[in-house]
Structures are given as C-alpha cells and as structure tokens.
Amino acid sequence: MADAAGILIVGDVIDGQLGSTSKELLAAGRQIANNLNESVSIALLGSSTETAGTQAIESGADIVYLVNNPALESYHIDFHLAALKSLVDEISPRIILMGRTAEGRELAPRLAFRLGVGLAQDCLEVSIDTSNQTLLANRPVYGGSAVAVVSCEQTPQIAAIRPKAYEPLETDSNRSGETVSFPVELDTSIAKTKVTNVVKEESEGVKLEDARIVIAGGRGLGGPEPFSDLQNLADILGAGVGASRAAVDSGWVPYSYQVGLTGKTITPEIYITVAISGASQHMAGCSGSKVIVAINKDSEANIFKDAKYGVVGDWETILPAFTETVRELTQD
C-alpha cells in the first residue's frame, strides 16, 4: 500500500450517539493528522449512525464512513472484523487508531493479524516522527512498571489507545466534513461464535467510569463486610465504589468493581483508596485520577508514591471517623 494516507479511527456508537472513546480517539487523531498534514476519517459501524456521524465531524473528523449492513446492528466480532477489513482495503489508511475498550481488546489484535501488520497495544500517547511518517506509541509494560516506545513496521500502522488517555476536543458545530455511505457485503455464515445469554452484575449506585469521586478497597480490608462501609461513605459523597484485583479474587465483590490493568480504567477528580497497596497493575487503572488519597497501615506501601494525601494507620479506626466528618461537612 504505497499510496496509503490518512488516519482512520474505528468509532463506537452507543444508542445512536457517538461514544466517548470515539471522541478521545478523534482528539488523538486530529493531533497527529495535523503533523502529517493528512485527513482524519472515522468508521461508524451499524445502522442509524447519522447522528453520531454529525457529532464525529463536530469532534474533529474530516470524513465519516457509515459502514452499514443489517448484521452490524449489534456488535459481533466476526462481522465487525470483516466490515473493517473491507473498509481498510478500500481506503488504505496510513494509520488506524482504535480504543482499547472491552470490544477493542479483541478487535484491534485480530484486525492487525488479519491485515498481517503489527499493533501498538494499550497506548497512553501517540505522536508522529515526521521524518518518516512513523507513528510512535508510548505504552506501559510490565504492569506499568516500565514504558516502551514502539512503532509498527508495516502499513497500516495500528495503535490501540487506552480509554481516557486523551481528552475529547471542544465540539465545534461549524466544522465541516464529508459523510460517505459504505455498504458492505457480509456472509452471515462467517460468525464462529454465538452469544446465548447476557448476565448483568453491575455494582450498586454510581457507575465507576463516570464517577467524580471513587472510593476503593483492597486486600487489607480482610473480607466483604467492609465494602458496605465504603458504600455508606460513597452514598454520602455520591461516589462510586471500586476494588483492587485482590479483593475481587477473594470473592468479596464482583469483577465489575475491579479497577486496574485487567479491570476498569477510571479518571475521577478524587480517588480514595482504603487498604490498597498500589501495585503497578492496580495503578494502571487509576493513574489518570486528579487526586489520589491513600489510607494504609504500611507507610512503605507503593500507593503513597502516587497519592497526594495520605494517612498511615488502621482503616478500621480511620474509616468511621472519616465518614462521620465527611457527613458533618457535607451537611452544611
């Protein structure tokens, strides 16, 4: 693909609206497109994606591909892969940006393999070496203990970007862009997997990813009961409740609570951790928090390296007193 050019973003549409991941990817794409002096296009798969298409242009896209086929109505990996492959073959992008979301975790590597190219996985930042139009990607490795700078050797160069690594651009309703309908043929017999049931295990109360305040507990809590104390505090503050992998592995709370490399990525204004040691794998899911508060009895715990405020002591005494004071303060 010697004439490859431009940046293609694999977008997401949620209930007809452009997803937040798409907006973040558009911000990343816009930045590198300006360095390359090339255009940013976005692929929206499904039907009824016109509204999301307009929003994509307002958020930074130059071209919107409405990739449609009835089989793309709901997410299915095999159909989405085939549709994306058709689009990529048709438009030959230089760079593809995808989100490392629940779906992207599967879609990005499989698309890269199907195209026979490399993938820069789980990137926090991407930039362009303008001397050779190479995409340089910064990505945490070893559970976040180190950062690697990698690039892809073939075209298209693909990067999967960690959610919330980029801030969406200000929307501009005066931006103009082109919308292209891209119907694809799909053979429905290519579906190799079938979802037979979906079971929701959402944590109570505020959704973790959207919460302004998150309170999380770890192994040091010693059992499931203290999570109801965390929930009480969360109710006062309108906060979400999370957990470290250790607490989830112990069966104290379901997986939907898990913050970290293999759980949720959160970026609250304030993240209050109780009895969490702060292993790099946990920090990978919360390092974008504006302020981290640590309550831990071990003054040497890793968490104090990332926290802005800390209390060294026993959570069993600290949590009730903290909750009580918060209750008094917020009643004013």
Site residues for another protein, 186-225, by CB under 8 A, read 192-202, 213
182 vs 227, which CB is nearer to another protein? 227
* Per CB under 8 A, 180 contacts another protein: no
CA 87 from chain centre, in angstroms, equals: 24
DSSP 264: B
Number of residues that bind another protein (CB under 8 A): 85
Site for another protein in 135-174 (CB under 8 A): 136, 140-154
Reading the block at residue 92, the tokens are: 């030959």
Least Å distance, CB 20 to another protein, is 14
Interacting residues of 319 by C-beta distance below 8 A, sequence separation 6+: 226, 229, 230, 233, 274, 295
Q: How far is CA 156 from CA 3, 25, 43, 93, 305, in A?
A: 11, 16, 15, 6, 39
Least Å distance, CB 3 to another protein, is 21
Least Å distance, CB 152 to another protein, is 6
Over the window 263 to 292, marking each residue x when it contacts another protein by CB under 8 A and - when it does not, the resulting string is -x----xx---------xx---------xx
Site for another protein in 292-311 (CB under 8 A): 292-295, 299, 302, 304-311
* Per CB under 8 A, 4 contacts another protein: no
40 vs 84, which CB is nearer to another protein? 84
Least Å distance, CB 86 to another protein, is 16
Least Å distance, CB 147 to another protein, is 5
Least Å distance, CB 176 to another protein, is 35
Nearest to 30 by CA among 154, 127, 121: 127
34 vs 325, which CB is nearer to another protein? 325
170 vs 300, which CB is nearer to another protein? 300
Amino acid in position 236: I
* Per CB under 8 A, 119 contacts another protein: yes
Least Å distance, CB 271 to another protein, is 10
* Per CB under 8 A, 1 contacts another protein: no
* Per CB under 8 A, 261 contacts another protein: yes
Reading the block at residue 41, the tokens are: 């296009």
Neighbours of 287 (CB within 10 A): 17
Rounded CA separation 90/261 (Å): 35
114 neighbors 85 (Cβ within 8 angstroms): yes
30 neighbors 119 (Cβ within 8 angstroms): no
Rounded CA separation 332/329 (Å): 6
Helix/strand/coil for 4: coil
